């Protein structure tokens, strides 16, 4: 059962990557997770959302949700961009970022969101 839930919404533009990284990693540190690992993962996920956004469309939003469970922190980064490797540049698109995220998380799940975007769900251990 979750003990804490926090949600932020940011415009899917490069100007907000650092802000999202700072806000989410500071909150994660406060909840007992490794702030550096969360900062890297959120930064990579947010960057992917910006890079894979439709070039001619107005920027959408990136929603970041942090859920504190008794033994882990779950972070979901959701956007309206297509999944890397699912029709927007080939299977190699986004692969390096996902491999980096895999190295700092205990679980990683990449799925299509309910509105056609991407959901990247990541888990981190907490102290």
pLDDT at residue 8 is higher than 50: yes
CATH number for position 72: 3.30.565.10
96 vs 71, which has greater pLDDT? 71
What is the domain count for the chain?
A: 1
Q: Which domain holds residue 51?
A: 4-125
Q: 66-91 in b/e burial notation, b at 16+ Cβ within 10 A?
A: bbbeeebbbbbbbbbbbbbbeeeeee
Cβ atoms of 60 and 20 within 8 Å: the answer is: no
pLDDT, tens digit, 9 for 90 and up, residues 18-67: 999 999 999 999 999 999 999 999 999 999 888 877 666 677 899 999 99
Question: Tokens 């107005």 correspond to what residue?
Answer: 58
- The tokens for 82 are 């297509």
- 24 Cβ contact list (under 8 Å, min separation 6): 8, 38, 39, 42, 64, 66, 75
First to last CA, the chain: 17
pLDDT > 70 in the chain, percent: 85
**Which of 29-33, 81-85, 119-123 has the lowest average pLDDT?**
81-85
pLDDT at residue 96 is higher than 90: no
């Amino acid at each position: 059962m979750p003990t804490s839930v926090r949600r932020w919404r940011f415009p899917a533009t490069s100007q907000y990557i650092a802000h999202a990284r700072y806000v989410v990693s500071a909150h994660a540190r406060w909840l007992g997770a490794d702030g550096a690992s969360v900062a890297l993962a959120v930064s990579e996920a947010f960057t992917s959302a910006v890079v894979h956004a439709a070039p001619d469309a107005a920027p959408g939003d990136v929603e970041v949700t942090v859920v504190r469970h008794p033994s882990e922190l779950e972070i979901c980064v959701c956007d309206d961009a297509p999944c890397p490797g699912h029709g927007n540049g080939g299977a190699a698109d986004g692969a390096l970022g996902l491999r980096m995220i895999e190295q700092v998380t205990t679980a990683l799940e990449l799925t299509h969101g309910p509105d056609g975007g991407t959901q990247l769900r990541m888990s981190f251990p907490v102290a």
